[in-house]
Structure 1
Amino acid sequence: MTKAIQSSVQVGELATGQALTVPLYTFSGSELFSPSVYIQANVHGAEVQGNAVIYQLMTLLEGYQVLGDITLAPLANPLGINQKSGEFTLGRFDPITGVNWNREYFDHNIKVQAWYTEHQHLNDNELFQAYRSMLVGACQARLELPFGLSTGHRLAVSLQTMAHQADIVLDLHTGPKSCKHLYCPEYDADAARFFSIPYTLIMPNSFGGAMDEATFCPWWQLTEYAASQGREFSVPVSAFTLELASQERIDLADALEDAKGILAYLSYRGVIAEKVTPADMPRFGCYLCDYKKFHAPKAGLIEYRAVLGEPLAAGQPLVNILRIDLYGTEQAYQAISLPMDCVPILHFASASVHQGTELYKVMTKVFSITH
């Protein structure tokens, strides 16, 4: 039986001097050249289901032969997790700066042409090792900047340092009210058929501040530049964000299904010795540019009509808006629809909204992902 070794990493300090630490669990692989893995969960305080998935995955891994090192970091944001207001967890934004905790990662802004020119004499494995060392070193240097870092950026760069040391990075999140969906870089779209997730967003090579982009963008840039110089290799690192339904929710049975999907992907990548078959289920995707946000055209009380994860035909009700202050007029109760077919993926958690609130995110131009 394979057992995880428990440790922790310090990601900051409280005003009273206590260390902020994140628990780590490591399965040591038996094969030197098998891919290494880093998995984290709960960067947003209310998004707790990823911790249940990590628990179920660790339980499963005890019965498998682990070939590549696997590091798991549940409870990855101790500040966000403890950011409570009454019965709700508010930890989506750093309360000091207002910045989204998942938009704090370091954009390396690598001058790829200059770096590649200096290192192009290396063989592929040496090139990758040098590039990884540069990424990790840049993060470590950033943590030591003489003028310091914000609390959120320090947390993010500490997590990013660990992620850069892995070949596969999985960041586990949830939406407010959401169906399961996967963020997947375009070069790795084939991976979507392994996870137990019905909807996939195909991402371009563009850094927006999130962990998956912070991980794969530098490697994708290197791969594209090398190709322009006549040197072909696949992007050496894979990174995904798994959105595991809704926040403020723990469901161990559902977590087991998602853990099995992760296990199927790790089997496909050779991280474990055994063959694990992915779930037999329909899977659909759209490009990130076709993932649309619908904002409230006016303020009011919202009746969410569209079912998450179910196709919605053009003209069918998305929401109803109740304006009790306009009782007696045609504006008191109004159905709102979209002019195109879509699949609603997530919606805002509250029923009371300001004008302009992001009510829904929907996939358009949806296509089937074959098994």
Structure 2
Amino acid sequence: MNTFTKKVMSVGEMASGAKLTVPVYSFVSENASGPNVYIQANMHGAEVQGNAVIFQLLELLQHCRLNANITLVPYANPVACNHKNGEYTLGRFDPITGVNWNRMYHFDESVIEPFSQNYIDATEEDINNDFRALMLNEIEQKLDHNIFGLTTGQRIAYQLQRLAYQADIVLDLHTGPISSKHLYCPEYAQASANYFDIPHTLLIPNDFDGAMDEATFCPWWSLQQAFEKQGRKFTMGQGLFNKESFTVELGSQEQIDLDVAKDDAVSILAYLHYKGVISNDEYQPQAMTRYACYLNDYKALYSPMGGMVDYLAEFGEVLAAGEPLARILRMDNYGDGEALHYVSLDKPVIPILHFASASVNQGTELYKVFYNYFELPES
């Protein structure tokens, strides 16, 4: 029998004194032998499809046989999802500091080496428990003992991170502007990408750059590397170091589709079945060709001129060299110049997302594409 609970977590206060709150849903398994899971959505204000996916997960998980505890947090950033300007949601950056909401998480790599030296001969259980306690203490110190205070974004991020640090698997649900589905996957966890029903995977370095996925896998990766330097070898993604974190890009912002969200929830459950979190054998990944590229080869194409853009390239399909991604309309040139300008590349690419508006300035990011892509080998 699984226990389901809901609580409301306060993550800050408005100028009026009104509380900023976040709902937290938890399934606690009576047989918690598998890796625990944390899933959040809507850290960026316009990226709302993840809330629909969490709804569908809540519905489906009530009928699953759980081998682990699962925590789900929709509306993770109440400031961002309420940051409207007319009919648009602007909540990608903290409006006070200008910092990306998803670049405020904490990881201090200086704590890794001393810990590995002190625990070089410790049991795996002690390493797991005490390192997790160290990571949680780092966050508690940031939240409760910072004499100079925290920004709004840091306070929200650290409280979410405190929840995430109690899990072994972390999924951060996002969307793009106008986008196909794709997965940000740490390089060491490449094999796991085959268990999501997502055809495009970005393999990211095992380094910290401020995002939630990095904040939750990088400490364990760094610890594994530190142990290895001292002659004690662990394999990341297995045993003690069975820790994985992903940013799951669910399509386009500013809209939800509950039917597609159910497909996305089923995709996540297929991955969770592979990891031993659930025992329901009906959740299996779909057979599909999955493409990947390394983060350095995920290229942004910037507009060579201002104008009105007709986006031509289909998402997820290989676009041959020389084929146009877009055409730009310049009505100011009509009658005495070229009104249409085509934009193409000299190498095959896979378009993944494009700018949300047809109206662009010179230098606007038009598309992001997989440049040196390859097929993911089957696991």
Q: What letter is aligned with 2:205?
A: P
Match of 1:110 in 2: 110
Match of 1:255 in 2: 261
SS at match of 1:281: coil
Q: CA offset at residue 59 of structure 1?
A: 0.8
Q: CA offset at residue 242 of structure 1?
A: 0.4
8 Å CA contact retained: 2:318, 2:351: yes
SS at match of 2:197: coil
In structure 1, what is the Cα distance between the partners aligned to 2:30 and 2:246?
25
Match of 1:214 in 2: 215
Match of 1:164 in 2: 165
Q: TM-score, normalised by structure 1?
A: 0.97
Match of 1:265 in 2: 271
Equivalent residue runs for 1:39-50 within 5 Å: 39-50=39-50
Q: CA offset at residue 111 of structure 1?
A: 4.0
Q: CA offset at residue 288 of structure 1?
A: 1.1
8 Å CA contact retained: 2:32, 2:66: no
Q: CA offset at residue 323 of structure 1?
A: 2.1
Match of 2:128 in 1: 128
Match of 1:198 in 2: 199
Q: CA offset at residue 231 of structure 1?
A: 1.2
Equivalent residue runs for 1:3-82 within 5 Å: 4-82=4-82
Q: CA offset at residue 328 of structure 1?
A: 3.2
Q: CA offset at residue 126 of structure 1?
A: 1.0
With over 3 angstroms needed to count, the CA separation of the structure-2 counterparts of 1:327 and 1:262, relative to structure 1, is: same
Match of 1:359 in 2: 366
Q: CA offset at residue 321 of structure 1?
A: 1.6
In structure 2, what is the Cα distance between the partners aligned to 1:216 and 1:314?
37
In structure 1, what is the Cα distance between the partners aligned to 2:110 and 2:326?
44
CA displacement, residues 194-217 of structure 1 (integer Å, 9 cap, x when unaligned):
111110011111222111011111
Match of 2:101 in 1: 101
In structure 2, what is the Cα distance between the partners aligned to 1:214 and 1:104?
10
SS at match of 1:110: helix
Q: CA offset at residue 331 of structure 1?
A: 4.4
Q: CA offset at residue 324 of structure 1?
A: 2.1
Match of 1:186 in 2: 187
Q: What letter is aligned with 1:25?
A: Y
8 Å CA contact retained: 1:312, 1:342: yes
SS at match of 2:368: strand
Q: CA offset at residue 270 of structure 1?
A: 1.1
8 Å CA contact retained: 2:2, 2:30: no
Q: CA offset at residue 278 of structure 1?
A: 1.2
Q: CA offset at residue 128 of structure 1?
A: 1.9
Any runs of at least 4 consecutive aligned residues in structure 1 with deviations exceeding 4 A, and if so which? none
In structure 2, what is the Cα distance between the partners aligned to 1:114 and 1:26?
34
| RMSD, aligned α-carbons | 1.4
Match of 2:311 in 1: 304
Equivalent residue runs for 1:289-328 within 5 Å: 289-328=296-335
Q: What letter is aligned with 1:293?
A: A
8 Å CA contact retained: 2:42, 2:48: yes
- Structure 1: gaps (5+ residues): none
Match of 1:240 in 2: 246
- Structure 2: gaps (5+ residues): none
8 Å CA contact retained: 1:110, 1:218: no
8 Å CA contact retained: 2:44, 2:77: yes
In structure 1, what is the Cα distance between the partners aligned to 2:107 and 2:332?
47
8 Å CA contact retained: 2:3, 2:29: no
8 Å CA contact retained: 1:2, 1:61: no
Q: CA offset at residue 26 of structure 1?
A: 0.3
Equivalent residue in structure 2 for 1:282, among 283, 286, 289: 289
Query: When the two structures are aligned, how many residues end up with a matched partner?
Result: 371
